[in-house]
Amino acid sequence: MIKKVKFEGIDCPNCAKKLEIQLNKLENVKKAQIDFLKSTILIESENFDKAIEEVVALTKKMEPNAKIIYNNQQNNKKFNPILLDFCLLFVGMVLGLITLFVPMPIVLYWVLFVVSAMLMGYKTYYKAIILLTKKTVNENFLVTLSIIGATAVGEHMEGLMVIALYSIGKILEGLAVSKSRKSIEELTNLKPDYAVKLDENQNEIKVSPQEIALGDIILVKPGERVPVDGEIIEGNCSLDLQSLTGESLPVNVGVGQQILSGSIVLDGVLKIKATTLYTESTVSRIMNLIENASDKKSKAETVISKVARWYTLAVIVCAVAVWGIVWAVLGNLSTAIYRGLIFLVISCPCAFAISVPLTYFSGIGNASKNGILIKGSNYLDVCAKLNVVCLDKTGTITTGKFVVEKVKVFKEEYSEEDVLYIASLGEQYSLHPLAKSIVEANKKPLKKLKEVKEVAGKGVYFTYKDDKYFIGRKTRTQETNTCVDLYKNDIKIAEIYLKDAIKENSKKAIKNLKDINVKTVLLSGDNKIVVKNVSEEVGVDEYYHSLLPQDKYTYIENLKSDKNLNIGYVGDGINDAPSLMLADVGISMGINGSSASIEASDIVLVDDNPNKVPTAIKISKYTRKIVWQNIIFSAGIKILFLLLGSLGITGMLSAVIADVGVTVLAILNSLRALKFKPKD
C-alpha cells in the first residue's frame, strides 16, 4: 500500500533529509520519501496504520514543531511556530544582555545564563541529542559543542552569540520557506474543472473530466479549457496554447485536427470527440511530470553540511587521542586533561558554525538586493556550478507581447498610418492578441462601426465608408503566423507583420552567460522560423523548436545523464514547471511568471530580467569562494594551534584568543558577500 501524507512545521531541507533517512529504518515502513517542496511524505507499507503511528512518533521526536496530517485531518493551528520562536529568542537575548551588564549574585547569573541559552537554542540542543542517538552529527551538534566549549573557558557571551546568530538564521530560513512554499496543487489552474458532454439528444451534461470515455462528444465554448485530448468534429477557433507549449501566438484549428487538453478556446464553439481518457491526456501527463520531477532532482548539500559530517567526530577522536598520548608520555592526568581541553577549545567550531551560514545569508541578501530571490543556500551552492542554462522563449527571452514590425502597402493611395488606422477600425472589437497589438500601433482616434463580423480562426469583416474590408488571414501563406492581410472589396491592399518583441536585456544576458563559460540552449514550443530568428538575434549556442512540455523535460533529463553537467532552466509558464523542478536549478520570472512556475523554481527573478541569471551565478560563485576561504583559513589556524596546544607551547588563553579571533575574522570576511557587486 502506498499513501501520501502531508506535514507542516519543517522548514529546513537538510532536516527533512535527515528525517527521511530515519523514516526508512522504521519496522513497518518499506519506503518513505519526503517531498520538501510539496510538504508531503510518500509512505509504502503493508500495514499503513502501524506505519503512520511510527512515522508520527519519530517525526515528533526529531522535529518537535512538526505535524503529520493524514485521513483528511484539518489543521487547527492556534499559533504561529515561527512567531513563538522569535518571541523566545527575543526574551533569551534580553536575559543574556542582563547577565552581561547588570551586577548580580553568581547563582542568579548562572540561572539567567542557562535560561537565556535554553530559550534561544532549545531546538538546536534537542535535535543534536536526538540525532546523536541515531549516530548522526550535523550543524546542530556543532553549535551545541561551540556553546559548551565557549562556556567551559569562561567566554559565556561568545556562547550566547553563537546560538543567537544561528537561531536568527533558522528563523529567517523558516520565514522564507513559509512564504515561498505553496502547494504545487496550484497547477489545477491548468486542469479543467469540468467537461460538457453531449448525449444522444445533444443535451449538455456537465461532468468531471475523469468521467469522459473514449468516443464521447464534448462541447467547449469560448474561454473554457479543453478537458481531454480529442479530434475536432465541428467548429473552428483560435486556441491559446501558451500554458502547454509556450506557443506565443494563438493557433487556428478546425474540423479534423487534433486538440490537446488544457488548451483555451479564445473564440468559436467546438465539438470534440475524445480520443484519450483524462488519465492519459496531455494535461494529466504534465501533472505527473511535476509530481515525479522532484524525486529525480539532485538533493544538493551545502558546504557546511559536508564539513560538519566529519569535523566533529574527528575533533572528538583527536581530543581523546591527545589525552591518551599526553598521559602516556608525561604520566600526569591533570596535564593530559588540560591539554585535551585546550584541544577542544581551539577546535570549537564557532568560526564554521557562524561564518559559513552567515556567508550564505549574505550572498542570498545580496542577490535579493539585485532582484534575485534564492530560496535556500543549497540552491546558491548549485547555482555557482552551473555550466548549461536552458531557456524558454516566450515570456523569458521575449516579452510575450506583439509589436508591429513593418507594414507592406500595395496601393499607393494608402500610407502605413492609413493601413494601421483602417485595420484598427475592425480589430478594435477583437480579443485576439494580434488585434490588440495592431490597435496599440495605431495613433489616430477610432470611430465606432456598426457592421462588424468576426469569424473565428480567420479574421474580421467590417464596413467603412461603404467599402467592405477584411483584416485577418484568408489563406495560410506565412509559416510564422505573424502576418495579417488587409483587404478592401476582396483586393489585398496591405500586409501587416508583427513579432514577439525580444526583451532589451536578452542579448546581454546570453553574452554575459557565455563570458562566464556557460552554454545556452533555447527550448521553445514555437515553430522553427520564429525560434531560429530569435536564437540568431540573441546569440544562443543551440535551439530546439516545436517542443511540448514533456519534450523539454526529456531534453533536460538526457542532459542530466552527464554527471559533469550542472543544468539550470529559466522559464515563466505553467508548462515550464516540470523542467524547472527537474533542472539542478530552476529559475522563474517573478512578474509575468505563473504561480506554478514560481513555486516550482529555486530562484525567482523579481523583475523578469533575464540578465539577472548571469548575475545570480556570479553572486553564487563569489559567495561559495568566501565560504571556502573561511573554511580553509579557520581550519589552517586551528590546526596550527592544535599542534602548539598539544605540545604545551600555548595555553588556554591562547586557545581562546585563537578561537575568538578566527571567528571574528571569518565573520568579517563573510560580510563581503553582502557588498559584492557583479561586473556587468
Query: pLDDT of 632-676, one tens digit each?
Result: 888 888 788 778 877 878 765 566 566 667 777 887 888 888 889
Question: Architecture of domain 191-283 in CATH?
Answer: Distorted Sandwich (2.70)
pLDDT higher at 89 or 155: 89
pLDDT band at 475 (very low <50, low <70, confident <90, very high): low
Mean pLDDT, the chain, as a whole number?
Answer: 81
Look at residue 29 and give its three-state secondary structure.
Answer: coil
Look at residue 185 and give its three-state secondary structure.
Answer: helix
pLDDT band at 232 (very low <50, low <70, confident <90, very high): very high
Secondary structure, 3-state, 460-479: EEEEECCEEEEEECCCCCCC
Nearest to 624 by CA among 389, 353, 376, 302: 302
Q: Cα(51)–Cα(25) distance, rounded to whole angstroms?
A: 11
Residue of 35, 392, 485, 526 with catalytic role: 392
Residue 491 has a CB neighbour count (10 Å cut-off) of: 9
- pLDDT tens digits, 418-455: 999 999 999 998 878 788 899 999 989 999 888 899 88
Single pTM value for the model: 0.62
Q: What are the sequence ranges of the domains in the chain?
A: 2-69, 191-283, 299-397+503-680, 400-502
Q: Cα(117)–Cα(501) distance, rounded to whole angstroms?
A: 58
pLDDT higher at 162 or 603: 603
Answer for the pair 227, 194: CB distance below 8 angstroms, yes or no.
yes
Concerning whether 515 is annotated as a catalytic residue, the answer is no
Which residues make Cβ contacts (< 8 Å) with residue 554, sequence separation at least 6?
none
Q: Cα(428)–Cα(432) distance, rounded to whole angstroms?
A: 10
Measure Cα distances from 254 to 239, 457, 572 in Å. 10, 8, 29
Question: Architecture of domain 299-397+503-680 in CATH?
Answer: 3-Layer(aba) Sandwich (3.40)
What fold characterizes domain 2-69? Alpha-Beta Plaits (3.30.70)
CA 376 to centroid of chain Cα atoms:
9
Measure Cα distances from 666 to 160, 343, 363, 619, 634 in Å. 18, 20, 15, 18, 7
Work out the angle between the directed axes of helices 612-646 and 303-330 (0-180°, nearest 10): 0
Work out the angle between the directed axes of helices 156-180 and 139-152 (0-180°, nearest 10): 160
pLDDT band at 569 (very low <50, low <70, confident <90, very high): very high
Which residues make Cβ contacts (< 8 Å) with residue 593, sequence separation at least 6?
395, 571, 572, 573, 601, 604, 608
Q: Cα(296)–Cα(187) distance, rounded to whole angstroms?
A: 20
Q: Cα(244)–Cα(550) distance, rounded to whole angstroms?
A: 10
pLDDT attached to residue 220: 93
Q: Cα(374)–Cα(177) distance, rounded to whole angstroms?
A: 11
Give me the percent of the chain exceeding a pLDDT of 70.
81
DSSP 2-27: EEEEEEES---HHHHHHHHHHHTTST
- pLDDT tens digits, 292-343: 544 544 343 455 555 655 766 677 788 788 878 888 888 877 777 667 666 7
Cell numbers 472589437: residue: 429
- pLDDT tens digits, 176-200: 455 544 433 444 455 677 899 998 8
CATH class of 400-502: alpha beta
Measure Cα distances from 280 to 285, 292, 555 in Å. 7, 16, 21
Which residues make Cβ contacts (< 8 Å) with residue 100, sequence separation at least 6?
157
Q: Cα(351)–Cα(162) distance, rounded to whole angstroms?
A: 9
